[in-house]
Structure 1
Amino acid sequence: MDYRYQRLAVLRRELAQLTAQICATPVGSPERDVLLIPMEPLMDTVLALADELHC
C-alpha cells in the first residue's frame, strides 16, 4: 500500500478528532480559539494530499 494513503487516513482521523473537539467547545471561548489554530494547516495538508492521490 502506498504510504501516502496511510498518511491520509491518519490525517483524516486527526482532523475528525480535532473537529469533534472544536464542536464540543463553546463558540468564542479561549479554548476553542486554541483548537482552531492547528485546523487550517491540518486541513490544507489533508486537501493537498487527497488532491495529489486523486489526480
Structure 2
Amino acid sequence: MLRLLAVSLFLECQNLTQVASQLKVARRSVNTWVSDYLSKGLVSLLNLKKT
C-alpha cells in the first residue's frame, strides 16, 4: 500500500519532498498521510474506501 510505504520512507529520512518525489505523488498527499498517521495511528492509513 502506497500510504504505508510513504510513512515508512518518511520515518527513515524525515523529508516529505524526497518521499513524494521518490513515489511520484504530490507532496500534499504525503503530508496528509504522515499527518494522519502521526495523529490517528496506523488505522488511519488502512481506510480502503475512496471518498
TM class, shorter-length: 0.3 to 0.5
Q: TM-score, normalised by structure 2?
A: 0.38
Q: Tell me: higher relative CO, structure 1 or 2? Use CA pairs within 8 A at least 6 residues apart.
A: 1
TM-score (norm 1): 0.36
- Greater share of residues in helix: 1
